[in-house]
Structure 1
Amino acid sequence: MRRTGRSAGLLGAAAMVMSVAACTADSGGGGAEASCATLYTYQDRSYQDVANVKFTLGKKLGVATQPASCEDTGGHDESEPVMTETAYEVDGISPKVAIAIGDTPKTATFFAVHSGPELPPEVQKLIDGS
């Protein structure tokens, strides 16, 4: 392979790594990482998934949406479809704070409002088991 071909290949690989890295952010709440794939919007609020939360599923709320690609990487294409999942209430917590999202109640995962490095106190209480 010629030197220019190798350089172009390395630049392309570096660009791909940077795109993926730009889509990942440390949530700061419990050390869990969030990526664009784990961000959803429901009723104009952004939610990110939170691991290790024991919760009881409530009633079906409606539809949560997930962007087709990361907005912050410059790769967003308006023609790409937005992904949707069912949003469910979490017993004992307002949907303004947390919801569960999944195709079915059995596959629903816990999501909390994405608003900075700290988890809402109601969510932290569930994690701590208090």
Structure 2
Amino acid sequence: MSRTGRSTGLLVAAAMVMSVAACTAGGGGGGDASCANLYTYQDRSYLDVSPNVRFTPGKKIGVATHTTCDDTGGQDESEESVSSENAYEVDGISPKVALAIGDTPETATFFAVNSGKEVPSEVQKLIDGS
């Protein structure tokens, strides 16, 4: 692996950890601070990894949900807004590791499972290849 690839991987891993910390830090309305890029699919959380990851979306496998949290203080604490997007397989990677989420496969964004640890090796390979 090149030095650039390792640096990119470390930056992505750091971003995932910071996103996890931000989404579990508490505050705002419902206990999650900033959850703009956090989706749930089959009881697993997924984070938007990188806009530059090259991937091929596969077939639609269901719906991923996004809970809008009030990290700016304008939402009533009793309100919880939930939206949903289509979830697609990512060719060559298990849905337990990564998903493509969006209205269509062509407009879907790459998301990786939020384990709070290192970036899964399958995801790292895509990042390194981008």
TM-score (norm 1): 0.68
For 1:88-123, what per-residue CA distance to the aligned partner results, in whole angstroms no more than 9, with x for missing partners?
A: 000000000000000111210000001114210100
Q: Distance in 2 between matches of 1:59 and 1:115?
A: 24
Q: Distance in 2 between matches of 1:50 and 1:29?
A: 9
Residues 98 and 112 of structure 1 are in contact (CA less than 8 Å); yes or no, is this contact kept in structure 2? yes
What is the one-letter code of the residue matched to 1:46?
S
Higher RCO, 1 vs 2 (CA within 8 Å, ≥6 residues apart): 2
Aligned to 1:29: 13
Aligned to 2:123: 123
Instruction: List 4+ stretches of structure 1 deviating above 6 A.
Output: none
Aligned to 1:91: 91
The percentage of counterpart residues that share the same residue type is 65
> How many angstroms does 1:68 deviate by?
1.8
What is the one-letter code of the residue matched to 1:56?
T
Aligned to 1:69: 69
Q: Distance in 2 between matches of 1:107 and 1:129?
A: 20
> How many angstroms does 1:80 deviate by?
2.8
What is the one-letter code of the residue matched to 2:55?
F
TM-score (norm 2): 0.68
Query: Are the structure 2 counterparts of residues 105 and 81 from structure 1 closer, same or farther at C-alpha, using a change threshold of 3 Å?
Result: same
Query: Are the structure 2 counterparts of residues 43 and 76 from structure 1 closer, same or farther at C-alpha, using a change threshold of 3 Å?
Result: farther
The two structures, once aligned, show a CA RMSD in angstroms of 2.6
Aligned to 1:41: 40
What is the one-letter code of the residue matched to 1:40?
Y
> How many angstroms does 1:78 deviate by?
4.5
Q: Rg: which structure is higher?
A: 1
Query: Are the structure 2 counterparts of residues 53 and 76 from structure 1 closer, same or farther at C-alpha, using a change threshold of 3 Å?
Result: farther
Any stretches of 5+ residues in structure 2 without a counterpart? Answer: 1-10, 20-33
> How many angstroms does 1:81 deviate by?
2.6
2:68 match: secondary structure: coil
Q: How many residues align?
A: 102
Residues 64 and 85 of structure 2 are in contact (CA less than 8 Å); yes or no, is this contact kept in structure 1? yes
